[in-house]
Amino acid sequence: MRSKFVFLVITIALFLASCSTKDDKEKRSSPNVVFIVVDDLRPQLNCYGSAEIKSPFIDQLSANTNMYLNAVANAPVCGASRASFLTGLRPSNNRFKSYDSRIDQDAPNVPTIGAWFKRNGYYTISNGKTTHEKLDAPESWSEPAWKAEEDWRDYQTIANKLIAKDNNGIAKSHEIGDSLLDTYADIKLITKSIADLKRMQNENQPFFIAVGIQKPHLPFNAPKKYWNMYLEKEILLADNRCQPKNSPKISMHNYGELRKYIDIPSNKNTALADSIQRKLKHGYFSCVSYIDNEIGRLISALKKMSLYKNTVIVLVGDHGWQLGEHNLWAKHCNYQTSLKVPLLIKAANQKQQQKVNAVVELIDLYPTLCELCGISKPKHLQGKSLVNLRTKNSNSTAFSKYKKGTTITTNAYSYTKWIAKKSKQQLGHMLYDLKNDPNENLSLINDSSYKETINYYSKKLDSIQNL
């Protein structure tokens, strides 16, 4: 009798052990996710065909990714854009309207991508600037969201710190960090994220780590070594520093975000001198090279820990940034310079690059990651999965919204219409032929041969205004 009992116990133990081993194996086989979102990053990178900015590590990563050549932000401002792609919902007249938009205020009952992955067995971590506000949608993360302690402007030189102390945190628009290689926030961010990878490496639970990189957001503060990568006198200024012909006045702004800094003329009617423009572009380029190095450090750690192969990696900018085009700086407008972003997605085990020319939206990220990780999609999503998107889809569209203006972007055209909120009257509109005029220098709004095209896109925008 005892021998039968012992045999039964051993059999049950072996069965449970086999089940546990099977479950653990299934957990480990689920792809991990590293979701890298970069503030104010425009697609001016080597892998996107631009030789001005040195970005060797992003270029190297792109070799194993789907590289989206026409990725469009749904909002040209950080808080609204992040709230949109983290929930998979478009901005509207009622939600995600400004830089400080919060998910827990505008869409409190909608599971974010972090919350959804958490529900589906992932350990979720937020490091750096993922949501605009650190404490927004805290249920998304398995542990409290983390940010470096520094003020978001991240001044590190004594001179700038002294000025900022007596000026509401604001000093110069840039900083050359001599002997400050390890003090900047994004370096601490990547160090923290690598430590989290080590912590999660041997766990039997897949992880989702969001890495919110702060630069190249103003002010352009970076270690000196990255400034030294460029000769300022060789930096070219934009060749279309004027308002596009036939465009409405409402399409323009006076880049108030930039004018807050003490070395920038505060008068909105004062143009920036060429020397200031070169310094700003120098600073932006330096910051991109700086964060490129940090991204390289993170990818290198994934490879050293043998995590790279089974990890889905996303690298995306939250919106674009003007560098003098149309005499505009910063974002906050409906031109493609504010809307187009770099987007790289590496699937687990992906080894080759696939360039995708179709227009895609950032709200497509949520359903795409669900499909890549074998997770069911929540019903509220408004985007589409990009997993099986054809590379030459000329019918794809993207919708973007900023204040009173809504833009539709296709491979052929961009059309924007501004509507007064109360009266519903049209305040202006513009149309650009992106194939023949990719820099949007001439609006075709007064060309009678485009009347049908304008009517078509106008009606299409009306159909989504109140979504």
Average pLDDT over residues 452-463: 94
Average pLDDT over residues 300-328: 98
Instruction: Give me the half-sphere count of Cα atoms (radius 13 Å) on the Cβ side of residue 313.
Output: 26
pLDDT value, residue 8: 47
Average pLDDT over residues 1-28: 46
CB 207 within 8 A of CB 200: yes
As a whole-number percent, the residues of the chain with pLDDT over 90 amount to 87
Predicted structure pTM score? 0.92
> Which pLDDT band, with edges at 50, 70 and 90, does 28 fall under?
low
Asked whether the predicted pLDDT for residue 345 surpasses 50, the reply is: yes
Average pLDDT over residues 220-233: 96
Asked if CATH classification 3.30.930.10 holds for the domain at 30-397, the reply, yes or no, is no
> Which pLDDT band, with edges at 50, 70 and 90, does 26 fall under?
very low
Distance, in Å, from the CA atom of 370 to the CA atom of 390, rounded to the nearest integer, reads 19
Q: With left for phi above 0 and alpha for psi between -120 and 50, is residue 67 left, alpha or beta?
A: beta
Return the active site residues. 78, 132
Q: Looking at this protein, which amino acid is placed at residue 255?
A: Y
pLDDT value, residue 388: 87
β-bridge partners, 315:
36, 344
Strands 413-419 and 426-433: antiparallel
As a whole-number percent, the residues of the chain with pLDDT over 70 amount to 91
pLDDT value, residue 23: 42
Query: b/e string for 243-271 if b means 16 or more Cβ within 10 A?
Result: bbeebbebbebbbebbbbbeebeeeeeee
CB 126 within 8 A of CB 136: no
Average pLDDT over residues 153-169: 94
CB 172 within 8 A of CB 261: yes
Q: Which helix (H) or strand (E) holds 159?
A: helix 158-165
> Which pLDDT band, with edges at 50, 70 and 90, does 179 fall under?
confident
Asked whether the predicted pLDDT for residue 50 surpasses 60, the reply is: yes
Asked whether the predicted pLDDT for residue 4 surpasses 70, the reply is: no
pLDDT value, residue 24: 43
| Least confident among 163-177, 299-313, 329-343, 391-405 | 391-405
| Least confident among 3-7, 258-262, 411-415 | 3-7
Average pLDDT over residues 106-135: 97
Average pLDDT over residues 306-321: 98
pLDDT value, residue 390: 63
> Which pLDDT band, with edges at 50, 70 and 90, does 337 fall under?
very high
pLDDT value, residue 463: 84
Distance, in Å, from the CA atom of 166 to the CA atom of 252, rounded to the nearest integer, reads 32
Which two tokens mark 28?
A: 């480990």
Q: With left for phi above 0 and alpha for psi between -120 and 50, is residue 71 left, alpha or beta?
A: beta
β-bridge partners, 419:
426
Distance, in Å, from the CA atom of 280 to the CA atom of 272, rounded to the nearest integer, reads 10
Asked whether the predicted pLDDT for residue 392 surpasses 70, the reply is: no
Which two tokens mark 38?
A: 């970069």
Average pLDDT over residues 438-460: 97
Q: Looking at this protein, which amino acid is placed at residue 74?
A: N
pLDDT value, residue 181: 64
Contacts of 414 (CB under 8 A, 6+ apart): 336, 407, 408, 431, 432, 434, 440
CB 101 within 8 A of CB 80: yes
Span between the terminal Cα atoms of the chain, in Å: 71
Distance, in Å, from the CA atom of 113 to the CA atom of 134, rounded to the nearest integer, reads 16
Per DSSP, the chain holds a count of helices (H) and strands (E) of 13, 15
Helix %, strand %, coil % of the chain (to 5): 35, 20, 45
Average pLDDT over residues 369-394: 88
Distances from the Cα of 317 to the Cα of 25, 205, 218, 341, angstroms: 34, 28, 15, 5
> Which pLDDT band, with edges at 50, 70 and 90, does 48 fall under?
very high
Asked whether the predicted pLDDT for residue 10 surpasses 70, the reply is: no
- For residue 355, the SS3 value is strand
pLDDT value, residue 29: 77
Distance, in Å, from the CA atom of 284 to the CA atom of 307, rounded to the nearest integer, reads 31
pLDDT value, residue 253: 96
Asked whether the predicted pLDDT for residue 118 surpasses 50, the reply is: yes
Distance, in Å, from the CA atom of 368 to the CA atom of 387, rounded to the nearest integer, reads 6
Residue that wins the pLDDT comparison between 78 and 15: 78
Average pLDDT over residues 357-363: 96
CB 127 within 8 A of CB 211: yes
Q: What is the mean pLDDT of the chain?
A: 92
